[in-house]
Structure 1
Amino acid sequence: MKKNKRLVLLLLFITASLFVLNAQSKKERRAQKEKQVKELIESGSYRIDVSTAYPQRGRTIQLSSPYSIEIRNDSVFSYLPYYGRAYSIPYGGGQGLIFNAPLDTYRIETEKNNATKISFTTRTQEDRFDFRIKVFTNGTASIDVSMQQRQSISFAGGLFLPL
């Protein structure tokens, strides 16, 4: 009987210590990811992979192809789909949100909840684009794009974190 009691107490102690160790490692992983996200944004070279599109009209669209937006130095490389109404575009539909262009303005702000707010403007031959990106500490991101010749559109995805 004493052996069973000791065995139960030993198992209970081991289980409790595993929970404590697991909780600490989760906190450490979260802190490490927050640090990695912050360093990547501050470096000025990062990519956001997009998984969902939110047109101004219509339903949410889950994207199956690999779409992304990349910021490198002073340029933006946009490979994003467009769903919505266009007011004035070139014959044939134009390029939409698939372009490479230099950044006109670029601003980074940190909000109260430690999310990073990035805003920039760029121009192509077709249109002027105003991007507002919000990157959260866990690496998820939301992108809002306003254009002069098309309806606005939003996207959701995540920051590409290299291993």
Structure 2
Amino acid sequence: MKTNKRLFLLLLSLVVSVSALYAQSKKEKKEEKEKAVKEVIESGNFKIDVSRAYPQGGRSLQLSPSYSLELRNDSVFSNLPYYGRAYSIPYGGGDGLRFNAPLETYKMETKKNKAIKITFITRSKEDRFDFFIQIFPNGTAAIDVSMQQRQSISFSGELILPL
């Protein structure tokens, strides 16, 4: 009887210690990812792979993995699809949200929930674009784009972290 009780206490302490180690390593991984996300954003060079589009007045659309938004130094490289109403566009449809252009303004701030909010304005030969990006500590991102010649559109995706 005494042996069973000792064995039970030994197993119980083993289970508690293993679960504590697992929880600690999970928390460490989360903190490590948060730190990596913050470092990549603060470097000013990052890429967001976009996986979903949310046009105004329509259903969300799952996108192929080839769409992205990239910021490098003082330029934006936008390879995003556009779904929605255009008010005035060039003959043939124009380029929409597929352009490379310098940033006119750039502002970054960290919110209370550790999310990073980035806003910037840029222009292509077709339109002016106001980007509002929110990047969360786990690396997910939400992008809202307002334009003068088209309806606004939103996207969601994932920040690409270096290996």
Fold match (TM-score > 0.5): yes
* Structure 1 position 108, deviation (Å): 0.5
Counterpart code for 1:96: G
* Structure 1 position 115, deviation (Å): 1.1
Equivalent residue runs for 1:109-148 within 5 Å = 109-148=109-148
Counterpart code for 1:115: A
Unaligned runs of 5+ in 1: none
Unaligned runs of 5+ in 2: none
Indicate yes or no: 2:53 matched with 1:53.
yes
Aligned length: 163
Cα distance in 1 for residues equivalent to 2:108 and 2:31 = 21
**What's the counterpart of residue 8 of structure 1?**
8
**What's the counterpart of residue 160 of structure 2?**
160
Cα distance in 1 for residues equivalent to 2:6 and 2:67 = 58
Indicate yes or no: 2:91 matched with 1:96.
no
Counterpart code for 2:104: D
Cα distance in 2 for residues equivalent to 1:92 and 1:25 = 54
Deviations for 1:94-118, whole angstroms, at most 9, x for unmatched residues? 1111111111111111112221110
When normalised by structure 1's length, the TM-score is: 0.95
Bigger CA drift: 27-36 or 70-79?
A: 27-36
Deviations for 1:58-105, whole angstroms, at most 9, x for unmatched residues? 101111232110000000000111110111111111111111111111
The CA RMSD measured in Å over matched residues stands at: 1.1
Counterpart code for 1:55: P
When normalised by structure 2's length, the TM-score is: 0.95
Cα distance in 1 for residues equivalent to 2:153 and 2:119 = 15
Query: Secondary structure of 2:137's partner?
Result: coil
Identity score, percent: 71
* Structure 1 position 2, deviation (Å): 3.9
**What's the counterpart of residue 77 of structure 2?**
77
**What's the counterpart of residue 37 of structure 2?**
37
Runs of 4+ in 1 over 6 A off after TM superposition: none
* Structure 1 position 6, deviation (Å): 2.9
